[in-house]
Amino acid sequence: MEHVWDKIVKAVSAAAGAVIGFFSGMPPLVIVLLGVMCLDYVTGLICGAMGKSTKTEHGKLSSKAAFDGLKKKAVILLVVLLAVLIDYTVTVGAGVDFAAVTGATCLWFIASEGLSILENAAALGVKIPAVLRRALEIMQDKGNVDAPPQ
């Protein structure tokens, strides 16, 4: 009979293999976007833990604000999926390899999430290199995205 720990190790190994296989097939910009989204979420949690969150009235951690952040990131991934589907449609229809919509969408969200990371870092008192902020602003400006309705 197999020991419980052996089963756990096998299950974790299988899950890790599936995750690695999933991510290895993604375009690099999607992987970068996922990484930046994680960094933004973590810096947001740190801000809340330090009482410096701009997402809550009291600046503290809030399960509602944290869950809202996760929902927003899930919708970002759905928007990226839409871009992938548009690129796929063009690729199939034209018979050419095309990923411009996905690339532009990912770059815009990378810039947006990057600016959010910088805002979180600044709220924690970290000095931000102007060149980094400007690079992210330029990336975002190039996307020509309409602001969401308020």
pLDDT value at position 150?
46
Q: How many domains does the chain have?
A: 1
Residue 103 lies in a domain: yes
Residue 148 lies in a domain: no
Which residue carries 């330029």 as its tokens? 138
Residue 114 lies in a domain: yes
Residue 2 lies in a domain: no
Residue 120 lies in a domain: yes
Query: Which tokens sit at 47?
Result: 């801000």
pLDDT at 9 over 90: no
Residue 102 lies in a domain: yes
Residue 82 lies in a domain: yes
Print the domain residue range for 54.
Answer: 27-142
What's the whole-model pTM score? 0.75
Residue 105 lies in a domain: yes
pLDDT value at position 125?
94
